[in-house]
Amino acid sequence: MANPSTVTVPAPGKSVWDGGVSPMNASYGKLMMWFFLLSDAFTFSALLITYGLVRSSHHAYEGAVEAFKFSQAYWPIPEKVFASIPFFHNVNAPLVFVGLMTFILIMSSVTMVLAVEAGHRMDRRAVEKWMLWTIIGGLTFLSCQAWEWTHFIHGTHEGSAVAEGTTFFGANLRMNQYGPPDFAAFFFFITGFHGFHVFSGVLLNFLVFYNTVTGVYDRRGHYEMVEKVGLYWHFVDLVWVFVFTFFYLV
């Protein structure tokens, strides 16, 4: 027979295994999302710090930007690498396209805020509308990134001359027009890793949109899942601001 002093008696209306009182007045789902985002922040921080250390180990070009030519001797200038926009092949527009990508992602974060706010009001139609716009923003960003990758791989019209009269165009596993191979490696890894997060976020947003349309959250009596997925989406947008700053601007 069990000792009465060791028997756990649940509170009225509570299960023994309900986890007790959630700290910080937040659900366990939100807490787990925050823990995940914190661990992911460490990963992105490590990538950007490593990028900064590797970049500082290479020679920096100190002349005029207009006179810069791609060379293995210097770390490339982002304004020269990312100066093209779709459908305007002869237009020199430094960082305009990536700036547009950043604007699109930030606006998708705004639509996510509106979706979360609508969820607090239990406004199903508004949640559907703003989640759909968030999905469109994410897909547009991914499409822009796909074009940027394609252009980066194919290279610019001027190429990069190397020994024995050979000219390289673009960046791949064998060559890199823009400069040291580390530049292309970090570009593909960091932007690709972030792009994977955006793609995952789009899938989560679509799942939330589908559940909203089918009335899942109305039956639950709350739209907390919209808020939890919103935390992830805002994190992805915030990380891109750091990637944009340290990789494209600095």
pLDDT score for 11: 55
Flag whether 186 is in a domain. Answer: yes
Flag whether 38 is in a domain. Answer: no
Long-range contacts of residues 73-78, Cβ cutoff 8 Å, at least 24 apart: 74/179, 75/179, 75/180, 75/183, 76/178, 76/179, 76/183, 78/247, 78/248, 78/249
Mean pLDDT of 150-157: 74
Give me the chain's average pLDDT, please.
85
Bridge-based pairing of strands 167-168 and 160-161 is: antiparallel
Main-chain dihedrals φ then ψ at residue 59, nearest 5 degrees: -70, 135
CB atoms closer than 10 angstroms to residue 107: 16
| Residue 146: pLDDT over 60 | yes
Flag whether 54 is in a domain. Answer: no
Q: What is the pLDDT of residues 158-205, one digit of tens each?
A: 555 554 556 666 676 667 777 788 888 899 999 999 999 999 999 999
pLDDT score for 72: 76
**CATH code of the domain containing 194:** 1.20.120.80
pLDDT score for 97: 93
Q: What is the pLDDT of residues 82-139, one digit of tens each?
A: 888 887 777 788 889 999 999 999 999 999 999 999 999 999 999 999 999 999 999 9
Distance, CA of 220 to CA of 208 (rounded, Å)? 13
Flag whether 94 is in a domain. Answer: yes
Flag whether 6 is in a domain. Answer: no
Flag whether 3 is in a domain. Answer: no
Q: What is the pLDDT of residues 210-231, one digit of tens each?
A: 999 999 999 999 999 999 999 9
Residue 115 domain boundaries: 67-249
pLDDT score for 84: 82
Flag whether 41 is in a domain. Answer: no
Q: What is the pLDDT of residues 238-248, one digit of tens each?
A: 999 999 999 89
Domain count, the chain: 1
Q: How far apart are the first and last CA of the chain?
A: 71
Flag whether 114 is in a domain. Answer: yes
